[in-house]
């Protein structure tokens, strides 16, 4: 079955204007390694950093990386001037360098092409590079995150992340959503202040946003289909591999969309973006040793279970859960176990969910909310709901949750002036990236992770 992936049809370099200074510098005088095949049989110059060097007395192999790929340059002592041989000998791990030579296909070389070097020029030396080609501990590597991202697996993860972000934007653009950037500095909390980072705002308190949702609901009334995609901050003292204090969240909000449509939108997003990763990131997934069969299995429809059904199933499995209890990590794992695609859990008791969730008209004890649990233990990647659109009910819920009414007046205006049913969800970018890449910990799914114990570098 052919997937819809939203991948653009053009290739990147074809769109670049010719004759600009940066174009000459980047694409004419030198060749990016990802395009080295186009130079096979001729001469080329690459510039980048030394990934590794091996020597065997009278021959040296320089592995050069430039961010787009890896190229092995061969320096045979007999074939090059003495100063070129010596420059190659001086080249140390991660020094920057420029290498010119003839390019040819070579099966023995990583990448399939190899350069016979005619000149080697060291641009910037690198002495005592701390990350050696052996094992290191996580704390050590995270202290060197600015350098660690040069390493092949970290580099691959961040390339996949970039592709995922682009795929998400393409997904919503193609469906005629309007991008609405929600504020990062906010004056009021969505729910309580215990998980908010507080900052001084000219003598008043301000908080770093933990969700763009409240700002998107009014925008849905202005534009119909909207989404935001930005950083989100949670001051939760979570100390697990599934949590960051700063992470990126994608939040669509759609006017007149009911709950069933919301679940389909969430499914479509997951399937489309995962398809795009499979189509465009094969090389990176291979470097990450990701089992792509697991990703190919991510197809519609996803299995669904209501909270009530989940409680029954868990009780049958021996868990002591009853209606009204929150599902913990063990319970979620038990439900998602043995599934090859995400599980949609829906219709939770109102008491354990957010104040703005719409009650199910057929079962008023529960609300039209959904959690999507990724397979392979990656946990909740999406949480969303249909929103309450009745003013009186929303006012009642704000009171029940003991929220400061004044701070929500502007939000209530959405219900005062032409209220409408609407739905939305939030997807955690890093959880999706970690899942796609098959990496163990969220901190490797973001360039500079912020966790309970880390704000450096």
Partner RNA sequence: UCCUCAGUAGCUCAAUGGCAGAGCACCCGGCUGUUAACCGGGGGGUUGUAGGUUCAAAUCCUACCUGAGGAGCCA
Least CB distance to RNA at residue 123 (A): 17
Least CB distance to RNA at residue 86 (A): 11
Residues that bind RNA (CB under 7 A): 52, 54-59, 61, 72, 74, 76-78, 92-93, 106, 108-110, 114, 128-130, 132-140, 142, 195, 211, 234, 236-245, 247, 249, 326, 328-330, 332, 352, 371, 379-383, 426-428, 430-431, 441-442, 451, 453-454
Nearer to RNA, 131 or 149 (CB): 131
Nearer to RNA, 98 or 441 (CB): 441
Nearer to RNA, 133 or 361 (CB): 133
**CA–CA distance, 309 with 302 (Å, rounded to integer):** 16
Nearer to RNA, 226 or 370 (CB): 370
Least CB distance to RNA at residue 403 (A): 14
Task: Tell me the longest C-alpha to C-alpha distance in the chain.
Answer: 87
**CA–CA distance, 144 with 147 (Å, rounded to integer):** 5
Which pair of structure tokens corresponds to residue 106?
């070579």
Least CB distance to RNA at residue 141 (A): 8
Centroid of chain to Cα 257? 26
Question: Using CA atoms in the order 14, 17, 20, 22, what is the torsion angle rounded to 10 degrees?
Answer: -40
DSSP for residue 151: S
Least CB distance to RNA at residue 429 (A): 8
Phi, psi of 62 (to 5 degrees): -105, 120
DSSP for residue 342: -
Least CB distance to RNA at residue 215 (A): 15
Taking alpha carbons only, the member of 129, 121, 63, 130 closest to residue 94 is: 129
Nearer to RNA, 7 or 112 (CB): 112
Nearer to RNA, 290 or 431 (CB): 431
**CA–CA distance, 177 with 73 (Å, rounded to integer):** 47
Least CB distance to RNA at residue 34 (A): 18
Nearer to RNA, 154 or 451 (CB): 451
Least CB distance to RNA at residue 12 (A): 28
**CA–CA distance, 32 with 399 (Å, rounded to integer):** 60
Nearer to RNA, 3 or 136 (CB): 136
Taking alpha carbons only, the member of 453, 216, 450, 241 closest to residue 356 is: 216
Let me know: does 254 contact 424? Beta carbons within 8 Å. Answer: yes
Q: DSSP letters of 157-173?
A: HHHHHHHHHHHHHHHHH
Q: What is the CA radius of gyration of the chain?
A: 26
Centroid of chain to Cα 30? 31
């Amino acid at each position: 079955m052919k997937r819809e992936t939203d991948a653009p049809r053009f290739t990147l370099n074809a769109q670049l204007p010719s004759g600009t200074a940066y174009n000459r510098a980047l694409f004419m005088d030198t060749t990016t390694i990802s395009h080295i095949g186009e130079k096979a049989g001729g001469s080329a110059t690459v510039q980048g950093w030394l990934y590794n060097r091996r020597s065997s007395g009278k021959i040296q192999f320089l592995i050069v990386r430039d961010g787009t790929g890896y190229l092995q340059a061969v320096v045979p002592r007999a074939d090059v001037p003495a100063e070129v041989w010596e420059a190659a000998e001086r080249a140390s791990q991660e020094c920057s360098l420029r290498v010119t030579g003839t390019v040819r296909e070579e099966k023995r070389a990583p990448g399939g092409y190899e350069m016979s070097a005619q000149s080697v020029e060291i641009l910037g030396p690198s002495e005592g590079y701390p990350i050696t080609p052996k094992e290191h501990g996580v704390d050590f590597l995270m202290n060197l995150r600015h350098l660690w991202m040069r390493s092949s697996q970290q580099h691959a993860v961040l390339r996949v992340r970039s592709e995922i972000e682009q795929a998400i934007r393409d997904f919503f653009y193609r469906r005629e959503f309007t991008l609405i950037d929600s504020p990062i500095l906010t004056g009021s909390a969505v729910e309580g202040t215990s998980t908010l980072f507080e900052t001084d705002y000219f003598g008043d308190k301000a908080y770093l946003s933990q969700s763009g949702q409240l700002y998107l609901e009014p925008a849905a009334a202005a534009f119909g289909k909207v989404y935001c995609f930005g950083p989100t901050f949670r001051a939760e003292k979570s100390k697990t591999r599934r949590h960051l204090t700063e992470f990126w969240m994608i939040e669509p909000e759609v006017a007149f969309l009911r709950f069933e449509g919301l679940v389909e939108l969430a499914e479509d997003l997951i399937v489309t973006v995962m398809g795009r990763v499979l189509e465009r990131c094969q090389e990176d997934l291979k470097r990450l040793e990701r089992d792509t069969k697991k990703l190919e299995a991510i197809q519609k429809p996803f299995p669904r279970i209501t909270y009530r059904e989940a409680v029954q199933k868990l009780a049958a499995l021996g868990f002591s859960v009853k209606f009204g209890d929150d599902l913990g990590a063990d319970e979620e794992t038990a439900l998602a176990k043995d599934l090859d695609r995400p599980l949609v859990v829906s219709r939770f008791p109102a008491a354990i969910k957010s104040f703005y969730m719409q009650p199910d008209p057929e079962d008023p004890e529960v609300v039209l909310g959904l959690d999507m649990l990724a397979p392979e233990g990656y946990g909740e990647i999406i949480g969303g709901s249909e929103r309450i659109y009745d003013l009186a009910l929303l006012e009642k819920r704000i009171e029940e949750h003991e929220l400061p009414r004044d701070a929500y007046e502007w939000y209530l205006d959405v219900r005062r002036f032409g209220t409408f049913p609407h739905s939305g969800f939030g997807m955690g970018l890093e959880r999706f990236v970690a899942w796609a890449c098959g990496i163990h910990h969220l901190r490797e799914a973001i360039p500079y992770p912020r966790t309970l114990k880390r704000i450096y570098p």
